[in-house]
Each structure stands twice: as structure tokens, then as C-alpha cells.
Structure 1
Amino acid sequence: MAASIALPPSTKLHQNHFHHSSFRGSPLPPSAFPCSSIKQKQHGSKTYLTKISAKFELKPPPYPLDALEPHMSRSTLEYHWGKHHRAYVDNLNRQIEGTELEELSLEDIITKTYKKGNILQQFNNAAQIWNHDFLWESMKPGGGGKPTGELLELIERDFGSFEKFLEEFKSAAATQFGSGWAWLAYKDNTVDHPRPSEKDKKLVILKSPNAVNPLVWDYAPLLTIDVWEHAYYLDFQNRRPDYISTFVSNLISWEAADLRLQKAKAEAAERVKEKEKKKEKKKNEGSDEEVYVDNSSSESDSDSD
């Protein structure tokens, strides 16, 4: 039976890092995306174009702000998305301007500034942008209920039952001390397993503090709930358990979680293929090595005759 895992920001895990160029979260495009900003420099009567720098923009949730009512109010989304999420985007753009981070993707900024728990100042804003993009896509109008197909099969296999999963997920969200997140994630353990099988690929429940997310570990997130107070206080005040129950029963987008699972599995299979290719290449290179035969003794014998 799977257990919830709480990992603090300072946790240093032995991990096989995923390919940073791939988007390991939602299969949809990231909501905060870089756009080009052309800087101009005036010199006399002429204008010269200088550097094109990447900036991140705030994109709205994939539904109207009142679409989640009555379970999540328009007022909550206006503050949560319109103010908090916007502030993360604005702050990150200021922090990365003129630095090497300006040219990186959002995911690369996250992994580069996490530094195995030795967090740089840009991490919190970058990770919070990603987390909130992921959150909006984890919800939908008329959500909740129960998943189907392979996702449900894996939940029942790894947690014992769907009901047991809900119990553990709610517990992780409720017991995350202070601000943070709870996640359902896919863990691929097959790469370094001596005899890998599908059973080594498991679903796990994680909780993380502040802005930390599973991208900095070897996990592929499928679903998240935000338990920062600004995510629920206007609707539920200090009643976090009520917010969590409402989220699970009425807001979860199991369709998005299923698409993320399929993407995570495809990426895991690709990593296995890459490992096999490298292994085969190394084997072939070893077989092509020339064999050196020392004939010096026979030559010296013939010379002495």
C-alpha cells in the first residue's frame, strides 16, 4: 500500500534527471510562456535593435473565472490568478532580466535554481508560475467523480482502492504544514532496476512546502491541489478540510490527469530506449577494439639465429 511522502526543500535525492526540454506536467502547452521583447537603442537619429530577451506572460485559466462556481468563486480566482499568479510572473521577469536565465524555458529555470535544495531567489517565482499553470488545468467545471481506464487501474493497484487513494490524498493536503501543495505523481523506477517491469512504475502521493514541486525530483506530476491560504480563504476561511473535500468531489479534472499519465509513460519508455541504445553502442564500440599482439620475443629469437 502506498504511503504519502513529504519531502522538504532541502531533501537531496539520488535521481535520474528527466530531459529538461520536455514538459513533464500537463500535456497542454505551459500557460506561462516566453514571448519576445525587442529592446531598442537610440543613437542620434537612428534606432538600433539590440537584444531579444525572453519574457513570461500570464495566460488565463482554460475556462471563465466564474466557471467553477459554486465550488470555487469568481472572487477567489480573481485574486488567486489575477493577483497572486500575476505577481509571480511579474517578479520572475524582473529577476531574470539581463541574466543567463532570461533565455531558458520555465522548466529549466526551475531545475537550475532549485540546486538540489540550495534554492536561488528566482526559484520561488518560477516554480509558482508553473504550479499555478498546472493547477488551473487540474480543475474543470463539473469535475470530480472517479477516473476510468488505466488511471483507475493504477490507483486501485497502488493504493488498494480509489477510496483509499482519496483518503491518503486528502490527508496529505490537510497535513501539509503551512503553505504548500499535495500531488498525485507517476514514479518510473524501471531505468535502474536490475529486472524492470511495469509493476516498478507506480503512482505516489507527495506533499511539498512553499513553491517546491515534483519537477525537481524524479517524478511526473499528474494532479495537484494548492493549500496556500490564498487558494481557499475567501470561500472557506480557515476550513481547509472542507476546501479539500470540495476540490476532490467537484473540481478535479481526471481527463487532464489521464493525459498526463499517458505522456509520462511515453517519456519513460523513451528513456528506456535511449538507455538501451547507449548500452548497445558501448557494447559495439568495445567489440571493435583492435587486439595488440606482442611479437617482440619471437623477433628477438629469430635475430639471434
Structure 2
Amino acid sequence: MILNRRNFLVLAGSSIGAVTLGACLASGDNITTAESETNVAQNTGVFTLPPLPYSYDALEPHIDARTMQFHHDKHHAAYVKNLNDAIAKYPNLKGQTVEQLLRNMDNIPQDIRTTVRNNGGGHYNHSMFWRIMKPNGGGEPTGEIATAINKAFGNFAEFKRLFNQSGSRRFGSGWVWLVRNPDGKLGVMSTANQDSPLMEGKFPIMGNDVWEHAYYLKYQNRRADYLDAWWNTLNWDEINKRFTAAT
């Protein structure tokens, strides 16, 4: 069959939703059914990929559309699929939320523990990540989170400096977080790979993904530039909701 440009575009468009194989699976190159984050939190037995709350290009020029599409449709989707595949081996785990799984890693069977840690963390982290950003976001925080940040760090500028510093210093892949510690105090921390602060008994109020797949297409090795630009995407209303949930 001769594949002209028009046919190629049609086939490329129809391929969204298909699962790719081999090495792509490990890196996040597969797609699953999308549902709301509410269904992610209230798991009924099968974890699902939440849709982006906005279009792929909605966060430009700070995060480009191609990065958003690959990041959500392929990387996040792979975490969901891999998590479901692991949990399928143990039906008694299917009624638990991803948060419950991450908070009780010692209760996860040894043969799937690393898979649940990596992919459950990736699923939870990214489900949060999409929602704490929005088009025309950014600016200084408002509401209760603004008061809490000023109390914990002195002012927003100092918090932002510490947050970016922690993200810049994370060697390799990982995340940088604003968390509520068990003693109720706010803190900045970073985690490796897809580890979640939930694993340490801390609640992640907001976090930025510093894996290269989150920024490399646009920023290449300039992680610091990505960290600076990311603040222009923040959805402080959603972050306030997470702060309320944390307290």
C-alpha cells in the first residue's frame, strides 16, 4: 500500500489510544482510557489515566505542546498500565487507592513492590502534576497557602528560591516538593525517580517533575530555565485545595 502524507496523518491520528510495545513500554510509550482524577483517587479496582484538564498547548510558551502530549499520553499512561498489570496478580489489592498503596509499601508483596513503587508513584505524582497547572496561571500564591508559605519560609521569594534550588540539585531523575510534614510544618524536599513523599509519611501539596522527559524537548539540559518558567503555570486554587486536604 502506498502511504501518502494524507493517509499517514490519518493513521497517526487514529493510533492515539493504542499501546506500543517493547522499550516504549518501560519509558512510558503507551496509552490507556482516560477518566477524571476523582476516579483515580476513588479506585474501584482498575487505575485509569486522568485526562489533561486543558489542551496540549495550553501551557505554552512555558511548556510546549509536544512535551505535554508525550508526557501525558505516553509516560503517564505507561505508569497506569504497569501498575494495573502488577495489581492484577493480587486481587486483594484492587480495592485500595494508589495513595493507600504508597503509604503502606511494606504490605505490598515483594515480587511487585518495586513495580508498584515506581509506577504507583508515577501515577500519583502525575495525576497531581496536571491539576496544579493551568493556562494563564502563575503569579504569587493567594489564600491560605500564601499565609502558610510566608509563615514557613519568610516570604514567597525565599520559598521559590529554596524550591528551585532543591529541584536543580536533584541528581538524575526525580521530583521537587512542597510537603506537609508529620509535625504539621511545611518543608521543601526532593525525591528520586517516581518516589512520593507519601512513602515517608509526608503529604505532597505541590511538586514539579524534574525528569528530563518533562522539559528536554524545549529546554534541553537547561533544567534551571524550566524550573523558572514552570512558576508561570501554577494553579494556586488547586494548590490551596491540596493544602486544605493536607491539614
For 1:32 and 1:149, locate their aligned partners in 2 and report how far apart those are by CA, in whole Å.
25
Secondary structure of the corresponding residue to residue 66 of structure 1 = coil
Match of 1:29 among 35, 38, 53: 38
Secondary structure of the corresponding residue to residue 94 of structure 2 = helix
Alpha-carbon distance, 1:29 to partner? 2.4
For 1:110 and 1:160, locate their aligned partners in 2 and report how far apart those are by CA, in whole Å.
32
1:242 matched to 2:225? The reply is yes
- C-alpha contact 2:40 2:47 (8 A) present in aligned 1: no
- Paired amino acid for 2:96: L
- C-alpha contact 2:82 2:115 (8 A) present in aligned 1: no
Give deviations 1:177-228, integer Å, cap 9, x for gaps.
1100001112242xxxxxxxxxxx3211011001111111222211100000
- C-alpha contact 1:32 1:129 (8 A) present in aligned 2: no
For 1:213 and 1:101, locate their aligned partners in 2 and report how far apart those are by CA, in whole Å.
19
Partner of 1:263: 245
Higher strand residue share: 1
1:61 matched to 2:52? The reply is yes
- C-alpha contact 1:32 1:59 (8 A) present in aligned 2: no
Q: TM-score with structure 2 length normalisation?
A: 0.78
Higher mean C-alpha displacement, 203-212 vs 143-152: 143-152
1:93 matched to 2:93? The reply is no
1:148 matched to 2:139? The reply is no
Secondary structure of the corresponding residue to residue 86 of structure 1 = helix
Partner of 1:252: 234
- C-alpha contact 1:138 1:256 (8 A) present in aligned 2: yes
Q: TM-score with structure 1 length normalisation?
A: 0.63
- C-alpha contact 1:173 1:207 (8 A) present in aligned 2: yes
1:209 matched to 2:192? The reply is yes
For 2:191 and 2:39, locate their aligned partners in 1 and report how far apart those are by CA, in whole Å.
21
Give deviations 1:18-74, integer Å, cap 9, x for gaps.
xxxxxxxxxx72647645xxxxxxxxxxxxxxxxxx211112121122211121111
For 1:157 and 1:223, locate their aligned partners in 2 and report how far apart those are by CA, in whole Å.
17
1:106 matched to 2:115? The reply is no
- C-alpha contact 2:41 2:97 (8 A) present in aligned 1: no
Partner of 1:174: 168
Cα RMSD between the aligned structures? 2.0
Bigger Rg over Cα: 1
Higher helix residue share: 2
Number of residue equivalences: 207
Alpha-carbon distance, 1:257 to partner? 1.2
Secondary structure of the corresponding residue to residue 61 of structure 2 = coil
Secondary structure of the corresponding residue to residue 177 of structure 2 = strand
Consecutive unaligned residues of structure 1, counting only runs of 5 or more, are 1-27, 36-53, 190-200, 266-305
Consecutive unaligned residues of structure 2, counting only runs of 5 or more, are 1-36
Secondary structure of the corresponding residue to residue 175 of structure 2 = strand
For 2:73 and 2:137, locate their aligned partners in 1 and report how far apart those are by CA, in whole Å.
22
1:122 matched to 2:116? The reply is yes
Using the aligned pairs only, state the percent identity. Answer: 38
Partner of 2:208: 225
Structure 1 pair 154–209 and aligned structure 2 pair: CA distance change class (3 A): same
For 2:39 and 2:148, locate their aligned partners in 1 and report how far apart those are by CA, in whole Å.
26
